[in-house]
Structure 1
C-alpha cells in the first residue's frame, strides 16, 4: 500500500489489476484502486474535488478533474476514515497515477490541498 500524509490527512492507495475486465488481445488492461482517506487531525473535513494525472507506458498523459469521489462528498470526522474503490483502463500493461484532493475544514470553510501519492498500475505477469 502506498501512503502520503498532507496536513494530517493520510491517503493510502492499493492498486489491483483486473484480469476479468481486461482484454490483452485488444490492448485493454483494466485496473482498480482502493483509496483510504484517514483524518488524523482534530477537525472535521470534507472532500470537495479531485484532480488526477494519469500516464501510460506509451507516454500518453491524461488529466481528470471532478467534484467529490465516486459521486460522494465525504465528511470525515477526526480519527475516522473514508474508503472507496474506482478504476481506469490502459492500452499498455503499465501506467501510473497521482493527484490531489481539495478538502475543506467544516468549522471555518478553509480549503486546503491533499496529495494523492503516485502509484503504479501494472499487469503482474509483465514483471516475470
Structure 2
C-alpha cells in the first residue's frame, strides 16, 4: 500500500488487476484501486473535488477532474476515515496514476490540495 500525508490528511492506495474484466488480446486492461482517506488533522474537512493524471505505458496521458469521489463529497471529522473503490482502464499492461483532492476546512473555508500518491498498475504476469 502506498501512502502520502498532506496537511494532516493521509491518503493510501492499493491496486488490483481485474483479469475477469480485462482482454489482453484487445489491449484492454482493467484495474481497481482502493483509496483510504484518513483525517489526522485537528479540523473537520470536506472533500470537494478530485484530479487525476493517468499514464499508460504506451505513452497515452489522460486527465480526469470532477466533483467528489464516486458520487460523494464526504465530510471527515478529525480521526475519521473514508474508503472507496474505483477503477481504471488501460490500453497497456502497465501504467500509473497520480492526483490530488481539493478539500475545504469547515472551520474557516480554507481550501487545500491534498496529494494522492503516485501508484502503479501492473498486470501480474509482467512481474514474473
TM-score by length of 1: 0.98
Q: Following TM superposition, where does structure 1 have runs of at least 4 consecutive aligned residues deviating by more than 2 angstroms?
A: none
1:78 counterpart residue number: 78
Unaligned runs of 5+ in 2: none
SS class of match (2:25): helix
C-alpha distance in 1 between matches for 2:67 and 2:83: 16
Q: RMSD of aligned C-alpha atoms? A: 0.5
2:3 counterpart residue number: 3
1:51-104 CA-to-partner distances (Å, cap 9, x unmatched) read 100000011100001000000000011001100000010110000000000000
How far is the alpha carbon of 1:24 from its aligned partner?
1.0
2:16 counterpart residue number: 16
Aligned runs of 1:21-40 on 2, under 5 Å? Answer: 21-40=21-40
1:36-65 CA-to-partner distances (Å, cap 9, x unmatched) read 000001110010000100000011100001
How far is the alpha carbon of 1:107 from its aligned partner?
1.3
Q: Does 1:47 align with 2:47?
A: yes
C-alpha distance in 1 between matches for 2:81 and 2:96: 24
2:88 counterpart residue number: 88
C-alpha distance in 1 between matches for 2:38 and 2:15: 17
2:98 counterpart residue number: 98
1:58 counterpart residue number: 58
SS class of match (1:25): helix
How far is the alpha carbon of 1:16 from its aligned partner?
0.7
TM-score by length of 2: 0.98
